[in-house]
Amino acid sequence: MSSLSSDSIETLKGALRGQALQPGDAGYEEARQIWNAMIERRPALIVRCQGCADVRRAVAFARESGLPLAVRGGGHNIAGSALCEGGVVIDLSLMKSVRVEPATRRAYVEPGATLGDFDHEAQAFSLATPLGINSTTGVAGLTLGGGFGWLSRRFGMSVDNLVSVDVVTADCNLLRASADENADLFWAIRGGGGNFGVVTMFEFALHPVGPEVYGGLVVLPIDAAKEALAHYREASAAMPENLTVWSVLRLAPPLPFLPPEVHGKPIIAFAICYTGSLDSAADAVEPVRRFGKPYGEHLGPMPYAAWQKAFDPLLTPGARNYWKSHNLATLPDGLIDTLLDAIARLPSPQCEIFFGQIGGATLRVAADAMAYPNRDALYVMNVHGRWTDAADDARCIDWARGFFEASAPYALGSVYVNFLTEDERARVEAAYGPNMARLIAIKTRYDPDNLFRHNQNIQPDASRAGSN
């Protein structure tokens, strides 16, 4: 069977606590909207789950229908893996519970929760775990691909802080995976994306952070960028792990601390988050303030949860987005020259190139400890093409691809799987490197028919699938 009958849909609806939406139903159009407006797909059915029982029903229904299956958490993935054309979408966005146990420093998080939901609960107890930099990002997709953010230099990747998951597998079983239970599945889920099932609960370790951190921006003219990046490269090696500094090159947004005449001009901004003692914060960030003479700066104590939302205005849903990404071990002069040439040719006021500084604790985990392998990456570079008019698609995409290709000689050759676009399936092996063979073996065991394939797919071994 590879279609949906009205009887089967009515049977499914009667078995759900949530909803099953078809084209034309109230709420369908809203439910199929995701962060990247370049993704335009019309699923045959969107199952809006409200619990694990609904997820199991939806997985069984998808298996029986023979239609494509997609799984939506926050709907933020650049490749649009949350939607499939003419298929079944398991929509987890209503499952948003976040429960924090301050005594054990654990958080139990459902797959529809966003970073903002997580931080709201955890920061009530001055606790946090490494997640991303945009509060509307979904915890699930970010974590399953590895996950990193302002706290990663101090506490590691998101997956380094994952203690266990509950996961519905392709055979509709609900399994708990941890270091002690279904350890092979737990190994694969920590970085392997949505290839192995639908996670219905994440258990994270938490760390004391906040409620205030010291952070903000130092914004320099683009003419100062080459020297500033050389200083940044040198200073990064000596930075304490409780200090994270990202660099962003773009046209200046209308930030209130910048003179109006700077708005719209090319800039380099250093985004700073220091989670040590506020008494030592000013001294800790002083080297960054000396990278060059700034157009302006805004630094000081602020709530950690507020800093997690600081970039939300630049990452709102509804724009057209196309990314290209490299992992880097250093920022050589040749890369900086190539970078500045690309910034001189920005095709849209919203386009940017950033270097997300990681390193620190992320380096102290073995490459084969879990599916996420890229333990030699000190920076994750993202070429963020972003614009609003579909007529600009070709121009903006060509710009992103052009810089990506020009910068490739300076990169490690690996890539962060969450930054792969829809047209980069060929780079999946580069995302997993030496761990790919083990991932294929685990995929073959848990999803031999590749039911969970609408993702950066790890294909099962067809020659072995029948023996599992």
One-character DSSP codes across 30-99? HHT--S-TT-----SEEEE--SHHHHHHHHHHHHHH---EEEESSS--TT-TT--TTSEEEE-TT---EE
Structure tokens, 272: 């700073």
Among 27, 60, 91, the domain-final residue is 91
Query: Are residues 185 and 139 located together in one domain of the fold?
Result: yes
The owner of tokens 């030592």 is 280
- Mean pLDDT throughout 137-157? 98
Which domain CATH number covers 243? 3.40.462.20
Predicted pLDDT at 468 = 43
Q: How far apart are CA 307 and CA 234, in angstroms?
A: 26
Q: Specify the 3-state DSSP secondary structure of 170.
A: coil
Residue 2 has pLDDT above 80, yes or no: no
**Structural domain includes residue 444:** no
Contacts of 163 by beta carbon, 8 Å cutoff, 6+ apart: 106, 178, 203, 204, 205
Predicted pLDDT at 1 = 39
Q: Which pLDDT tens digit goes with each residue over 8-21?
A: 999 999 999 999 99
Q: How far apart are CA 122 and CA 99, in angstroms?
A: 8
Task: Provide the strand spans (E) within 97-211.
Answer: 98-101, 106-109, 127-128, 162-168, 174-178, 198-205, 207-208
Predicted pLDDT at 464 = 67
Query: Are residues 172 and 227 located together in one domain of the fold?
Result: no
Q: Which pLDDT tens digit goes with each residue over 184-209?
A: 999 999 999 999 999 999 999 999 99
Whether 452 and 169 have beta carbons less than 8 Å apart is answered as no
Q: Which pLDDT tens digit goes with each residue over 114-123?
A: 999 999 999 9
Predicted pLDDT at 265 = 97
Q: How far apart are CA 432 and CA 332, in angstroms?
A: 25
**Structural domain includes residue 163:** yes
The model carries a pTM of 0.95
Q: How far apart are CA 328 and CA 399, in angstroms?
A: 20
Query: Are residues 190 and 127 located together in one domain of the fold?
Result: yes
Confidence of residue 457 (pLDDT cuts 50, 70, 90): very high
Query: Are residues 327 and 360 located together in one domain of the fold?
Result: yes
Residue 410 has pLDDT above 90, yes or no: yes
Which domain CATH number covers 86? 3.30.43.10
**Structural domain includes residue 272:** yes
Q: Which pLDDT tens digit goes with each residue over 327-373?
A: 999 999 999 999 999 999 999 999 999 999 999 999 999 999 999 99
Query: Are residues 242 and 378 located together in one domain of the fold?
Result: yes
Torsion, CA 389, CA 138, CA 339, CA 377, rounded to 10: -160
Confidence of residue 4 (pLDDT cuts 50, 70, 90): confident
Other CB atoms within 10 A of residue 86 CB: 15
Among 57, 76, 91, the domain-final residue is 91
Mean of the per-residue pLDDT values of the chain: 96
Q: How far apart are CA 462 and CA 468, in angstroms?
A: 11
Residue 466 has pLDDT above 80, yes or no: no
Query: Are residues 40 and 168 located together in one domain of the fold?
Result: no
Predicted pLDDT at 7 = 87
Other CB atoms within 10 A of residue 1 CB: 9
Query: Are residues 53 and 119 located together in one domain of the fold?
Result: no
- Percent helix, percent strand, percent coil in the chain, to nearest 5: 35, 25, 40
Which stretch of DSSP H or E encloses residue 221? strand 212-221
Whether 416 and 332 have beta carbons less than 8 Å apart is answered as no
Query: Are residues 145 and 204 located together in one domain of the fold?
Result: yes
Structure tokens, 133: 């930099």
Return the CA Rg of the chain.
Answer: 22
Query: Are residues 85 and 111 located together in one domain of the fold?
Result: no
Q: Residue 28's domain spans which residues? A: 6-91
- Mean pLDDT throughout 32-44? 96
